[in-house]
Amino acid sequence: MSTIAYYSNKPELYPTYDGNDLGYTYSKDSTTFKVWAPSAKQVLLKLYSTGSFYEKDATVLGIKQMLFDPQTGVWSLTVKGDLNKTFYTYVVQTEKGVNETNDVYSKAVGVNSARSMVLDFNETNPQGWEDDKHIFVDKPTDAIVWEVHVRDFSSSDSSGVSKVNRGTYLAFTEEDTVIPCSNYPTCMNYLKTLGITHVQLNPVFDFGSINEVTGVEYNWGYDPVNYNVPEGSYSSDPYHGEVRIREFKEMVKSLHKNGIGVIMDVVYNHVYSTADSPFEKTVPGYYFRMQDGRYLNSSGCGNVTASDKVMFRKFMIDSLKYWAEEYHIDGFRFDLMCCHDIETMNIIREELDKIDKRILMYGEPWTANDAENGISGEDCCNKANAKKLSDRIGMFNDDMRHGIKGRNDDDSKGYIQGSTHSAYNIIAGSMGASSTTFGNWANAPSQCVTYASAHDNLTLWDKILKSNWCNDYFTTDELYLSQNKLSAALVLISLGMPFILAGEEFARTKLGDHNSYRSPDNVNSIDWCRTVAYEGLLEYYKGLIKIRRAFSPLRDSTTKAVNDTYIVYNGRIISITGVNDKENEFKYFSLIVNNSDTPAPIEIKSQFELPKKWKIIADSKKAGLTSLGDYEENMQIPARCAMILVDEESYNKINQK
């Protein structure tokens, strides 16, 4: 069957297949295996008793010849009997030699990805899984995303998680954890009160840099091996393939039960090892972009996958739909999304829409090396091409990120450290990169991911300290705290979808390590004791989140709020004033930010008639929905302060109810 829905303009060397049954189809009576390998001369199915790397641990249960369909390029075989928990590989013979390989469409594997596994997935569902529901927001701009690594979340002694569950999926299922010898909440107990809507997990599919037997090494996981299998090092038992699946679902179920959605960080742009990849071993030279016989490398990791080829495009779509349906995943963040072509990403959006239009999609609008991408600049998913993408495919706004704090890892300064050259990027970003006046690479705010820090580069706190030439990562100096608060206000009180690194809200430090992808736990682990040391900062973030949720225009996914907003700025003082037509909310709202070290006059303007009386609900110390005092004419905004005002009339109406 030749595919139409996934058609690519790139000429195909082989017949393609659009069936939804690649991999295996299991029943207790028989299992059917299908693998797309059009260039193979022969494919054998090899069955094993165990999933270990070591032949001495495994009994070969059988080697069977598969049958080829030249119209589709698919080899298939049905094996009678119950193969539940049987391991398997394919032995593929091509002109380049013979390779034994995992199934490209593996759903379960043995320890360290050695062999694929047949599994009755009904046995992997935790109790109550049939009642688990996706956590969706109506539009991307309603989301507030908190990015975390599974291991970082609970590996510290301060997490209060039981030792057996630290650093694992199951840490997310412990709901009453506290910092030892205290009442301060940690982990899931903490997330329940923070106010975020989604947790974004650093890669949790099976990756290659960790020995699952020992689990000693640390890695972020941007080195995929089997895309449709949960990583085993985060499970209690990586040997039995069903365990990691069940525990992953337990994690998702726990987050959902507490009203928090789950976003997967997906890395379809490259694989861990080109030569050892099931893609390359199955169909040599097909799944990757190549030029003059060499693999292109826009990912910076040795290869770049070919999303513009029919069968890798199909794989991406099948894989994403599988995670959404089998694991109830609520959204996807695409690593190096610029490696993928626009047509593929729009088709993915359409296919996910068939499940639910509220599934989130966003990614990094860059590559590691544009010259090695293998597709034209007009076809890749960068900000210059954002208008060619669906309004519901978001992009990280690195312009605003740099405007907020300066360049990522050096001692340069941005707006929060007093720069007078960053206001334009700040204002453009605060409008969701959708204002025709201040820069509009996005179709609408729904395409703009607003952020100051992520897992890459220095944490926000470490960047603030470096730009102020401070080496004390445990300082509580008010100067640095004020700069962190300014960043929080600019991220959370802007149009677009706000995104924060886990712990940013309590001055998380990695001790100045700007690239901690394989650094030890003492660098990467979240130190939950900092929630106590930086409690004032944490409460400030919580207050801003409450304000965001209380004023609908901040969450507008269209350009209406952009057009209704009035901005005044002079390089240091930024004043952003908006109006709201939704009942039972603040009608007028103004954010005034002063990044200088001296007080300054407040100027509030709008194209609409403004009220005379205002309430202050955020200043340099506190933020929330409770009045901190009345705004008075000729009042000045303090130094290094983000002040938020709402009209007194609607404030009083809301608080009388």
pLDDT computed for residue 433 by the predictor: 97
The 3-class SS string of 140-172 reads: HHHCCEEEECHHHHHCCHHHCCCHHHCCCHHHH
CA proximity to 350, closest of 327, 316, 376: 316
Please state, in angstroms and rounded to a whole number, the distance separating the CA atoms of residues 89 and 476: 56
- SS3 state of residue 287: coil
Q: Which pLDDT value is given to residue 188?
A: 98
Q: Are 428 and 400 in contact (CB under 8 A)?
A: yes
- For residue 188, what are its two tokens? 């899931």
Question: In the numeric block, which tokens belong to residue 444?
Answer: 């609408």
Apex 265 CA angle, 263 and 271, nearest 5: 150
Confidence of residue 5 (pLDDT cuts 50, 70, 90): very low
Q: Active-site positions?
A: 335, 364
Q: Could you tell me the pLDDT band of residue 10, with boundaries at 50, 70 and 90?
A: low
pLDDT of residue 541: 98
User: Token pair for residue 559?
Assistant: 């350009």
CA–CA separation, 648 and 193 (whole Å) = 28
pLDDT at position 150 is 98
Please give the pLDDT value at position 630. 96
Q: Indicate if the pLDDT at residue 8 is higher than 60.
A: no
pLDDT at 249 over 90: yes
The predicted model gives 399-427 an average pLDDT of 95
Q: Is the pLDDT of residue 6 over 80?
A: no
Q: Residue 288 is which amino acid?
A: F
* CB-CB contact of 638 with 603 (8 Å): no
pLDDT in tens, 534-555: 999 999 999 999 999 999 999 9
Q: Which positions ≥6 away from 275 have C-beta within 8 Å?
A: none
Which percentage of the chain shows pLDDT scores above 90? 93
Find how far residue 369's CA is from the centre of its chain: 21
Residue 323 in this model has a pLDDT that exceeds 80: yes
Q: Do domains 23-121 and 564-656 have the same CATH topology?
A: yes
Which residues, in sequence order, are CB contacts of 198 under 8 Å at separation 6+? 135, 137, 143, 144, 145, 146, 260, 261, 262, 263, 330, 331, 360
Q: What is the pLDDT of residues 359-374, one digit of tens each?
A: 999 999 999 999 999 9
427: left (phi over 0), alpha (psi -120 to 50) or beta: alpha
Taking alpha carbons only, the member of 655, 649, 495 closest to residue 587 is 649
Contacts 24+ apart (CB under 8 A), 212-215: 212/111, 212/112, 212/238, 213/111, 213/112, 213/238, 215/167
For residues 152 and 526, give the distance between their C-alpha atoms in angstroms, rounded to a whole number: 6
- Note whether 536 and 572 are within 8 A (CB): no
pLDDT at 3 over 60: no
- Reference 222, options 151, 288, 301, 306; nearest CA is 301
Average pLDDT over residues 602-617: 92
Q: Characterise 154 by phi-psi region: left (phi > 0), alpha (psi -120 to 50), beta (else).
A: alpha
pLDDT confidence band for 12 (50 / 70 / 90): confident
Query: What CATH number does the domain located at 564-656 have?
Result: 2.60.40.1180
Q: How confident is the model at residue 13 (pLDDT cuts 50, 70, 90)?
A: confident
pLDDT at 438: 86
Q: Which of 254, 294, 251 is nearest to 274 (CA)?
A: 294
Q: Which of 503, 593, 526, 512 is nearest to 146 (CA)?
A: 503
Question: What topology does CATH give the domain 23-121?
Answer: Immunoglobulin-like (2.60.40)
Asked if the model's pLDDT at residue 75 lies above 90, the reply is: yes
**pLDDT over threshold 70, residue 586:** yes
Inform me whether the pLDDT recorded for 54 exceeds 80: no
Tens-digit pLDDT profile for residues 105-119 = 999 999 999 899 999
- In which band, very low, low, confident or very high, does the pLDDT at 160 lie, cut at 50, 70 and 90? very high
- Measured between alpha carbons, how far is 626 from 633 in angstroms, rounded to an integer? 21
Report CA dihedral (125, 127, 129, 135) to the nearest 10 degrees.
-130
Average pLDDT, the chain: 95
Q: Is residue 53 scored above 80 in pLDDT? A: no
Alpha carbons 9 and 40: distance in angstroms, whole number: 24
Residue 231, SS3? coil
* pLDDT-wise least confident of 128-137, 293-302, 309-318, 431-440: 431-440
Token couple for 372: 């090695």
Q: In terms of DSSP H, where are the helices of 239-289?
A: 241-257, 278-282
Note the pLDDT tens digit of each residue in 449-482.
999 999 999 999 999 999 999 999 999 999 999 9
DSSP states along 431-484: BTT-BTTTB--SSSGGGEEEES--SSSS-HHHHHHHHTT---TT---HHHHHHH
Name the pTM for this structure.
0.96
What residue ranges do the domains of the chain occupy?
A: 23-121, 564-656
Instruction: Give backbone dihedrals phi and psi of 530, rounded to 5 degrees, phi first.
Output: -70, -20
The pLDDT, as a whole number, for residue 349 is 98
